[in-house]
Amino acid sequence: MKKGFLSYFTTQLKRYVKGLPLIIAITVLLIGAIGMIAYSFMKERSDSEEQNLAKIGVVGDLEGTYLGIGISAIESLDASQYTISFENMTEDEAQKALSVGDIPVYIIVPENFLDDVVSGKDVQLQMVGRGTQGIGGIIITELADVISVYINSSETAIYAMQAYAWDKGDTEAYRSTADNFFLLEANNLFARDSALEPILIGVGNGSTMIAYYTCGIFLLFAMLMGISFCSVFVRRKNDVNKVLYSQGVYSWKQVLAEYLCYLLAVLVIITLIVGALSVASSAFDVKLALWSKTPREVRWLSTAQIIWQIYVKWLPAVGMIASLQYMIYELASGIVSSVLGQFLTAIALGYVSGLFYPMSFFPVPLQTIAAASPLKAAMDYCQSTLRWDMDAMHLVMIIMYAVVFLALSVMARRIKLKK
């Protein structure tokens, strides 16, 4: 019985080993190509004077309007966090720049804008974009609403002050002090960052954003890796499995042997990728920022720590994902269903499990549903390892999910064999 399992395992392993050199060669080539594109992109940006700047086009004349106050206020934000600049352009230039994605939006200032504002008319500026485009577009509209409040309130105060002084006939006093009032308003607006300066408390349960996205990208990639081995899975022959079953290689043995071989192959690919990441991190001095255990402060991971903290500790999560992928291959029939099933599972589970957006983005009902997601357990577990307090509860959950997926795979195989 034991011999049957081992010989089946060896046969399966040979199937993977046969294709593995090619898989490794192509993976290395692809990682190299993506790395080169990413490196040249980052280098081009760091060499540029306008690094990481999102430009917003302005069509029309801003001179003499108080729009400049709101715009300067936004530009005055910490450049390392917010990177927005405004650039005057013609409408044709703005349309072209928007069309090719050089600018996310542009603003059209009408010719008689200033006169209309002074005469108390309710005038509006046109902001032209390409749909909300997800979170980016929504942030732009939120920012525009903030600018709108700054400009509207500043203008209202200035025009009210001017009208008051004019009506009281003290035009000289108004003329001599108007600039000072304008300066007071501008100074107060620019000082808002210090007036609302946050008190930062490094806490145990939260991750740094970079640590969060490292987990998210890693798990998404591990999920998509399932597609890579579709050619191996779709070539399985049910008739051969039936013969093996009659010879004592039962469905659970077949599943276990196939799963272990698949897991080994996935681990080879993951090792390559983590290896490439480690080499890149030391070559280009890219480091990962995490919360340290004590004291609560941000610390940076070295290459060796990346391997220990990510590669070794995340293996249970990789194992669980491999079991989920294996189950999908077992349930789906044919290459189209298998590939689409793998992708749909990766994208849908990834989305609700907070791989793309943090869980706080989602409404409570979705967070409740996501709590039962295996990828959410994997995400929580991986994040906990990066916070230096490995979460045993999530580790147990991951192992349980893996067992359930393999049990379901055995059931599916049994049904297939009895057909």
Partner 1 sequence: MNIRKWFVLQILYFKRLFLKKSFVVLLCLVPLMVLGLRIISSEDNGIVKILLCMEDDRDELASQTVDYLLESDSVFAYEYCEDADEALKKLERGEADAVWLFPDDMLEVIRDYAKGNTDVTLVEVYEVEDTTSLKLSREALMASFYDAIAYEEYVGYVVDVIPKDAEVTDEELRMYYDYFKQDSSLFEYYNMDGTKWSAQGGYLTAPVRGMLALLILLAGIAGVMYFRQDKESGVYEYLPKSEEWLYRLSSQMISMFLIGVVSLVSLYLSGNTTSLPMELLLMAEYIVACALFSSLLDTVFGSLLIMGIVTPFIVLITFVMCPVFFSINGLLPIKCVFPTLYYLNGVHDVNWLIYGAIYIVAALVINIVADLIVNKGIRKNG
Which of the 8 DSSP states describes residue 197? P
Please return the burial class of 330, using the count of CB atoms within 10 Å of its CB with bins 0-12, 13-18 and 19+. Answer: buried
Q: In whole angstroms, how close is the CB of 123 to partner 1 at the nearest point?
A: 8
Interaction between residue 46 and partner 1 (CB under 8 A): no
Residue 342 CA: distances (Å) to CA of 55, 291, 329, 398: 38, 34, 8, 19
Give the count of beta carbons closer than 10 Å to the beta carbon of residue 216: 21
Assess contact for 241 and 413: CB atoms under 8 A.
Answer: yes
Q: In the set 41, 284, 300, 308, which binds partner 1 (CB under 8 A)?
A: 41
* Residue 230 CA to its chain's centroid (Å): 26
Binding of partner 1 by 30 (CB under 8 A)? yes
CA–CA separation, 337 vs 181, rounded Å? 68
Task: Give 118 or 396: the residue with its C-beta nearer to partner 1.
Answer: 118
Smaller CB separation from partner 1, 18 or 304: 18
Instruction: Give the residues across from 85 on adjacent strands.
Output: 55
Q: Which stretch binds partner 1 (CB under 8 A): 247-255, 302-310, 317-325, 333-341?
A: 333-341
Q: Which is nearer to partner 1, 9 or 212 (CB)?
A: 212
In the list 62, 75, 110, 181, the residue contacting partner 1 (rule: CB under 8 A) is 181
**Interface with partner 1 includes 5 (CB under 8 A)?**
no
Number of residues that bind partner 1 (CB under 8 A): 132
Of these, 17, 336, 393, 400, which contacts partner 1 (CB under 8 A)? Answer: 336
Q: Does 47 bind partner 1 (CB under 8 A)?
A: no
63 in contact with partner 1 (CB under 8 A): no
Residue 204 binding partner 1, by CB under 8 A: yes
* Residues 121-140 interacting with partner 1 (rule: CB under 8 A): 122, 124-139
Contact string 9-28 vs partner 1 (x = CB under 8 A): ----------x--xx--xx-
Q: Does 348 bind partner 1 (CB under 8 A)?
A: yes
Q: Least Å distance between CB 1 and partner 1?
A: 32
Of 199-207, 241-249, 299-307, 319-327, the window that binds partner 1 (rule: CB under 8 A) is 199-207
CB of 336 to partner 1, least distance (A): 4
- Kind and range of the H or E run holding 105: strand 105-108
Decide if residue 246 touches partner 1 (CB under 8 A): no
Instruction: Using alpha carbons, select from 82, 359, 370 the residue that is nearest to residue 216.
Output: 359
Which residues make Cβ contacts (< 8 Å) with residue 349, sequence separation at least 6? 223, 373, 374, 375
Taking CB under 8 A as the rule, does residue 114 contact partner 1?
A: no
Q: What are phi and psi of 355, to 5 degrees?
A: -80, -25
* Residue 334 found at the interface with partner 1 (CB under 8 A): yes
The one segment of 76-84, 250-258, 319-327, 398-406 that binds partner 1 by CB under 8 A: 76-84
Chain centroid to CA 360: 14
Say if residues 15 and 261 touch (Cβ distance below 8 Å). Answer: yes
250 versus 381: smaller Cβ distance to partner 1: 381
- Determine how many CB atoms are found less than 10 A away from the CB of residue 154: 20
Closest-CA residue to 213 (of 83, 318, 310): 310
Between 366 and 417, CB nearer to partner 1: 366
Based on CB atoms, which residue is closest to partner 1, 267 or 339? 339
240 near partner 1, rule: CB under 8 A: no
**Is residue 55 classed as helix, strand or coil in its secondary structure?**
strand
d(CA 324, CA 357): 22
The CA distance from 375 to 387, in Å, is: 18
Minimum distance, C-beta of residue 298 to partner 1, in the bound complex (Å): 8
Give the x/- contact pattern for partner 1 in 349-368, rule: CB under 8 A.
--x----xx--xxxxxxx--
Verify binding: residue 146, partner 1, rule CB under 8 A. Answer: yes
Residues contacting residue 83 through CB under 8 Å, at least 6 positions apart? 51, 52, 53, 54
**By CB under 8 A, residue 264 contacts partner 1:** no
CB of 261 to partner 1, least distance (A): 15
Contact 158, 182 (CB under 8 A): yes
Of 3, 46, 49, 81, which one interacts with partner 1 (CB under 8 A)?
A: 81
